[in-house]
Amino acid sequence: MAELPAGYTDIPEEDRTKARLFFDRGRTVADTGNFEYAIEMYVQGLSLDPEDVEAHKFLREISLKRKASGGKPLGMFDRMKLAKVTKDDKQNLLNFEKLLAYDPGVTDYMLGILQNAHRGGFYDSVLWIGPILQKANADAKTPDFNKFIILKDVYKQLGEWKLATDACHYAMKLHPNNMELGTELKNLGAQHTMTKGGYGKARSFRESMRDGEGQKRLMDQDKDIQSADLLVRMVKETEAEYQADPEDSARLGKYVDALRRTEQPEYEEQAMQILDEQFQRTRQFRFRKTLGEIRMAQLARRERTLREQVNADPTDDEAKTMYQDFVNERNETELAEYQLLLEAYPTDSTARFAVAQRLFRLKRFQDAIPVFQQVRADPKYRSTAGVFLGEAFLFSGFVDEAVDTLKVIIEEYPNKGDDRSREMYYWYGRALEEKKETPGAIKCYSQVAQWEFNYRDVQTRIKRLRS
């Protein structure tokens, strides 16, 4: 078996286990749409296990979803602070990963991850980000020659001759008359031909280079859209590994993850059965928690299907009724899941916020009020929970309390004109209107209209109140 490249950093199993707790929580909050907190959870987990490639991948999924939903990059001062290079390679890696999570298309951040992962000996992370950087740079309007050269040199030092050859080839396209580079391209190709093979059976980086198919599998996993054949193959491979050592929690986790990615009911049922057996045997709630996540993911897919049917034919009253009934059923099920989670983790403000949201969606406003009040103690949720709390007071008939709550939230909130402040002002206007304080309500609606003229029904409300 060949020697690993010098400087490879192995992660202790204890740290891997601790990191998974952060990743599990991050996955849970990401499902609620709280992408910023999910990013924080994944970055904290990666501080313990920077070599968890699946965590890197899911964090990137969160990043892309956040961007698609209108998420903005970090502010200038935060970007400057995180981009400042220190002597700590791992911390630099985490900083660039966070920057990339908030702005997933910046190749400079990808390069920062690559270089610091390489210097820190986190070679699995190198092999994860390398292809992403190469593709992003190649697709750029003006590809950066130096980024291809850096990729080539990093791959060379890892003995990844095929990848080094590919990077060199991209560089040659930009400088086709560079004779020295042309010679190196030939040498890299020859080196690849002479040293085909792998590092044998082992974990992590060793596994990714086990044989000629190892790198191909890693590249396959980095594709945004995975084929059904690949997903089934991953299920079979991880199942075989799990069956060889059912006591290995890491193998169990990979097997369950592979089953989940198929999004096929029969595979998901297998995953839930395994998780339930593990939970009953060990009483470790993390297994029950993952089972609940799968169940809620199934409900989310079902709701999307029903919603598409309603959108396809808005006149179908039966489809509308079926959809609304299912939405209520989903909220009831999710409420039970998050209440169970909160019993196991009483200090988990994310689970508490999810409970309050489901109570609100079920129009159980008076039940939701005390839960939102508790959640507001967490700075992450203070403003968001405050708006929900104001609405819950309003819909419960506690108009004065709604007015006071929303007024305080607006005074505390530092940003003006963003999505959250528009929501605050709108509901403050609604509360003032309900209290018959018409001038104040008009002023709130007018402010919203000046920020976004077509926001909700502010135009109609302003005209009606002024008339």
Amino acid at site 379: P
Residue 3 is given by DSSP the state P
What token pair was written down for 197? Answer: 């093979």
Q: Are 426 and 450 in contact (CB under 8 A)?
A: no
Measure Cα distances from 163 to 127, 153, 168, 299, 415 in Å: 9, 10, 9, 41, 46
**Could you give the CA distance from residue 163 to residue 104 in angstroms, rounded to a whole number?**
23
Kind and range of the H or E run holding 169: helix 161-174
**Could you give the CA distance from residue 397 to residue 262 in angstroms, rounded to a whole number?**
46
Q: Could you tell me the pTM of the whole model?
A: 0.54
pLDDT per position in the chain (467 positions), as tens? 345 566 778 888 888 888 998 898 898 888 888 899 999 999 999 999 999 999 999 999 999 989 888 889 988 888 888 888 888 899 999 999 999 999 999 999 999 999 999 999 999 999 999 999 999 999 989 999 999 999 999 999 888 889 999 999 999 999 988 888 888 888 888 887 776 544 333 344 635 444 444 555 555 555 444 456 678 888 899 999 999 998 888 899 999 999 998 888 889 999 999 999 999 999 999 999 999 999 999 999 899 889 988 888 889 898 899 999 999 999 999 999 999 999 999 999 999 999 999 999 999 999 999 999 999 988 888 889 999 999 999 999 999 999 999 999 999 888 888 888 999 999 999 999 999 999 999 999 999 999 999 999 999 999 999 98
Amino acid at site 214: G
Amino acid at site 32: T
- The secondary structure of 284-297, three-state, reads CHHHHHHHHHHHHH
Nearby residues of 57 by Cβ (< 8 Å), 6 or more positions away: 128, 221, 222
Collapsing DSSP states into helix, strand and coil, what is residue 225? Answer: coil
Write down the H helix ranges in 313-398: 317-344, 349-361, 365-375, 382-395
